[in-house]
Amino acid sequence: MKHRIVVLGAGYAGTFSAGYLARQLHADDFEITVVNAEPDFVERLRLHQLAAGQDLRHRPLPEVFAGTGIRLRVARVTGVDTAHRAVTVTDGDGIDRLEYDTLLYTLGSTVADHGVPGVGAHAFHVAARPAALRLRAGLDELGTDGEVLVVGGNLTAIEAATEIAESRPGLRVSLVTRSELGGWLSTKGRRHLLRAFDRFGIAVHEHTTIQRVEQAAAFTADGTRFASDATVWAAGFAVHPIVAASGLAVETDGRITVDRQMRSVSHPNVYVAGDSAFVIAESGLPLPMSCASTAPTAKQATAAIIGDLTGRKIPAITMSYTGNHISLGRKDAIYQFVDRAGQTKPRPLRGRTAARVKSSILDGAAWALSHPNLGKPSHQYRSTTATAHSPELTTG
């Protein structure tokens, strides 16, 4: 009987991991199934562009996985039963259960409402393709006259605000953040960010916390009202609640606690990559929920799965975070570098050069999904009967 590997989610981490595993493990010994709510690979890092009215390249998952033998199940994950090693999924035909021997959890994150009343009913977000399309439709209805309020001061909020302002210049865009906009950037980086906001005419309200969202306005605790025809909620990310219900050990922020090899500390046959994983980087700090965390966690998880199932040594993938790459519309960006301790470096890459670099990185990442070996040879590693996990990583 084949060893059943189920990958939950086909974002950057899941798609890369599934393709790489399929090219390294022998098809006679292993069966790989990918579960994803949509039939296409979605470039989440470009969803602010989709929301603003731009069309993204269509990338059907059957084409991405062509020739790999991967089984694609288009369905929504509704539960993970770690006790019985099964996943509950729902599609147009109803509810089904998929049993697994090894599970790779890469469902990522969604928008965090922080319990603020009205967010779910009245606000838009860009953390998923259907949500970005709803925002796009809402902006279309506004036409060339309306108020757009972006709530949040993180990368997603900045990119959404600037993209909408550039693509739809008739709309009046403002941003509310509870802290200082771009406060984590270097002096030069923040100066460049504020100049971009001035150029787009985006009004910024710092040190302001939204406590309630209604259909045409958002309110602070003291009753200050911000008129809004479309409120875009971008105040952070959260892991899907099915994680906590699964019995997996989690952190206070909901992320799955893993060891250095990306295994769940409570269920070693469950591996995690992407935003859902809580792992400590070389800096001594947890890797943030960010695109920059995807590659190292996915590479480490796949290396651990291959090592545990075939008896091979598991290489240690460097868990590092190099910085923030922030789009400011299509022709401007900031690449803010950080050092090994996570402190910002004084000279960020800015302007058109930074925008071109980010575009090439995103294009390269999308291409790599169909070429996960990236120049490395494919193998056909066979399964071993060993069940003990490798306790140590090797740098060789």
176 token code pair: 């509310």
247 and 212 together in one domain: no
Compute the distance between CA of residue 119 and CA of residue 218 in angstroms, rounded to an integer: 10
* Per-residue confidence (pLDDT) for residue 281, from 0 to 100: 86
CB atoms closer than 10 angstroms to residue 275: 29
Contact 12, 365 (CB under 8 A): yes
Q: Along the 396 residues of the chain, how does pLDDT read in single tens digits?
A: 999 999 999 999 999 999 999 999 999 999 999 999 999 999 999 999 999 999 999 999 999 999 999 999 999 999 999 999 999 999 999 999 999 999 999 999 999 999 999 999 999 999 999 999 999 999 999 999 999 999 999 999 999 999 999 999 999 999 999 999 999 999 999 999 999 999 999 999 999 999 999 999 999 999 999 999 999 999 999 998 889 889 999 999 999 999 999 999 999 999 999 999 999 888 888 888 887 789 999 999 999 999 999 999 999 999 888 888 999 999 999 999 988 777 899 999 999 999 999 999 999 989 888 888 777 788 899 999 544 454 455 543
223 and 116 together in one domain: yes
Whole domain around residue 283: which residue ranges?
Answer: 3-108+240-322
Contact 394, 313 (CB under 8 A): yes
In this prediction the pTM is 0.93
Exposure string for 77-109, b = 16+ CB within 10 A, e = fewer: beebebeebbbbbeeeeeeeebebebbbbbbbb
Overall number of domains in the chain = 2
CA neighbours closer than 13 Å in the CB half-sphere of residue 2 = 13
* Per-residue confidence (pLDDT) for residue 320, from 0 to 100: 82
279 and 182 together in one domain: no
99 and 245 together in one domain: yes
Domain CATH for 312:
3.50.50.60
Compute the distance between CA of residue 218 and CA of residue 124 in angstroms, rounded to an integer: 13
49 and 163 together in one domain: no
* Per-residue confidence (pLDDT) for residue 363, from 0 to 100: 93
274 and 292 together in one domain: yes
CA neighbours closer than 13 Å in the CB half-sphere of residue 128 = 18
250 and 214 together in one domain: no
Give the domain-ending residue among 203, 233, 263: 233
186 and 154 together in one domain: yes
Exposure string for 356-369, b = 16+ CB within 10 A, e = fewer: eebeeebeebbebb
* Per-residue confidence (pLDDT) for residue 230, from 0 to 100: 98
Compute the distance between CA of residue 237 and CA of residue 24 in angstroms, rounded to an integer: 33
* Per-residue confidence (pLDDT) for residue 393, from 0 to 100: 55
Q: What is the β-pairing status of strands 323-327 and 333-337?
A: antiparallel
Contact 170, 145 (CB under 8 A): yes
DSSP per-residue string spanning 211-236: EEEETTEEEETT--EEE-SEEEE-S-
**Which of 14, 87, 24 shows the shortest CA–CA distance to 44?**
14
SS3 79: strand
The contacts of residue 119 (CB under 8 Å, 6+ apart) are: 113, 213, 233
133 within a domain of the structure (yes/no): yes
261 token code pair: 């090899």
Give the domain-ending residue among 233, 267, 284: 233
Give the domain-ending residue among 191, 217, 233: 233
132 and 92 together in one domain: no
* Per-residue confidence (pLDDT) for residue 244, from 0 to 100: 83
Compute the distance between CA of residue 338 and CA of residue 321 in angstroms, rounded to an integer: 8
64 within a domain of the structure (yes/no): yes
Centroid of chain to Cα 170: 30
- In the chain the first and final C-alpha atoms are separated, in Å, by 32
Compute the distance between CA of residue 194 and CA of residue 202 in angstroms, rounded to an integer: 9
345 within a domain of the structure (yes/no): no
149 within a domain of the structure (yes/no): yes
341 within a domain of the structure (yes/no): no
* Per-residue confidence (pLDDT) for residue 385, from 0 to 100: 56
The CA distances from residue 230 to 73, 119, 121, 208, in Å, are 34, 12, 12, 18
Compute the distance between CA of residue 71 and CA of residue 13 in angstroms, rounded to an integer: 17
181 within a domain of the structure (yes/no): yes
* Per-residue confidence (pLDDT) for residue 387, from 0 to 100: 45
Identify any residues that bridge with 333 across adjacent strands, giving them in sequence order: 327
Q: Which residue has the tokens 């086909």?
A: 10
